[in-house]
């Protein structure tokens, strides 16, 4: 071993010892500690395995594999598996498997529910992890509070995010001041954004949030002059006209204009417009 050390250019004894210790770490202590104390952990979904006839999300704590059965994943969408009995429903199973696939690569929260050390595997529940987080967030959060949201899914007109175990909707009008033609061009899964908490619908289990509420309003003191011309970017074209964007000293403001008589505009146009 000493000879091998001398054969490695740049060898550092301290770094080598740290690397060896990390490689040989017993991660079972972390797993069992989390199970005993009902800790909420967060790891990436590494894949999907089917055990018996049950699809399971795969996570890892170090070198120890964790399995989260689909009925413990806490899928809040309709027509998805929510209990063991739902495994008999082929349609629900199909939709749930697709949901797991969409979550692959994303970081999720979960609680360790049991383990089989000889098989180097533990069982976990995302549903219980999310519920634990949601209860504490709901109790501490007040309307008007500023909170960090993590984007879980982006649709053209709505962002679905998480705020401490609570599913939250961020609509296009609440994303920014002005026109948002397609949110998929502005945000992506995994983005962290500061938002204002607007409320929680217990019946639907959904919170509402606003990013725009934390951004200064560019319409105040625009400092644009009448009969002047400013470069404008076309943001969206609709049946009855076009949305445009103009830069001001406080940011961008959007407006609406009718279709020009002699020109067809599209979202790639930038042109001078008179105020």
- Select the more confidently predicted residue: 11 or 82: 82
Give a yes or no: residue 223 inside a domain.
Answer: no
Do residues 19 and 108 share a domain? yes
Last residue of a domain, one of 130, 157, 186: 130
What are the pLDDT digits (tens) for 81-135?
999 999 999 999 999 999 999 999 999 999 999 999 999 999 999 999 999 999 8
Can you tell me which residue has the tokens 């949201």? 149
- Domain boundaries, position 183: 141-214
pLDDT of residue 228: 82
What are the pLDDT digits (tens) for 156-176?
999 999 998 899 999 999 998
How buried is 92 (Cβ within 10 angstroms: 0-12 exposed, 13-18 middle, 19+ buried)?
buried
Total domains present in the chain: 3
Model confidence at 233, in pLDDT bands (50, 70, 90)?
confident
The CATH number given to whatever domain includes residue 203 is: 2.40.50.140
Do residues 90 and 48 share a domain? yes
Give a yes or no: residue 21 inside a domain.
Answer: yes
Do residues 10 and 113 share a domain? yes
**pLDDT at 15 > cutoff 60:** yes
What are the pLDDT digits (tens) for 201-212?
888 889 999 999
User: Do the Cβ atoms of 73 and 100 come closer than 8 Å?
Assistant: yes
Q: Could you tell me the pTM of the whole model?
A: 0.70
Query: How do 64-69 and 121-125 pair as beta strands?
Result: parallel
**What's the CA gap between 128 and 67, in Å, rounded?**
14
Give a yes or no: residue 178 inside a domain.
Answer: yes
Give a yes or no: residue 220 inside a domain.
Answer: no
**What's the CA gap between 234 and 269, in Å, rounded?**
6
């Amino acid at each position: 071993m000493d000879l091998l050390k001398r054969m490695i250019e740049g060898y550092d004894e301290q770094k080598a010892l740290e690397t060896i210790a990390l490689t040989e770490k017993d991660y079972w202590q972390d797993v069992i500690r989390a199970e005993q104390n009902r800790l909420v952990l967060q790891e990436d979904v590494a894949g999907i395995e089917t055990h018996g006839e049950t699809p399971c999300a795969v996570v890892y704590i170090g070198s120890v594999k964790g399995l989260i059965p689909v009925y413990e994943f806490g899928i809040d969408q309709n027509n998805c598996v929510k209990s063991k009995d739902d495994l008999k429903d082929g349609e629900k199973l199909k939709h749930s498997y697709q949901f797991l696939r969409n979550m692959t690569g994303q970081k999720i929260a979960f609680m360790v529910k049991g383990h089989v050390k000889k098989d180097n595997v533990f069982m976990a529940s995302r549903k219980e992890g999310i519920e634990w987080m949601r209860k504490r967030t709901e109790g501490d959060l007040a309307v008007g509070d500023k909170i960090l949201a993590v984007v879980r899914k982006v649709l053209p007109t709505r962002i679905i995010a998480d705020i401490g175990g609570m599913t939250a909707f961020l609509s296009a009008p609440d994303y920014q001041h002005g026109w948002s033609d397609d949110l998929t061009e502005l945000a992506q899964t995994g983005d962290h954004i500061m938002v204002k908490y607007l409320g929680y619908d217990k019946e639907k289990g959904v919170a509402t949030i606003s990013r725009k509420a934390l951004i200064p309003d560019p319409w105040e003191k625009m400092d644009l002059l009448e009969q002047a011309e400013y470069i404008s970017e076309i943001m969206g074209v609709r049946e009855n006209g076009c949305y445009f964007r103009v830069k001001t000293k406080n940011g961008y403001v959007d407006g609406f204009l009718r279709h020009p008589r002699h020109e067809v505009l599209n979202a790639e146009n930038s042109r001078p417009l008179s105020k």
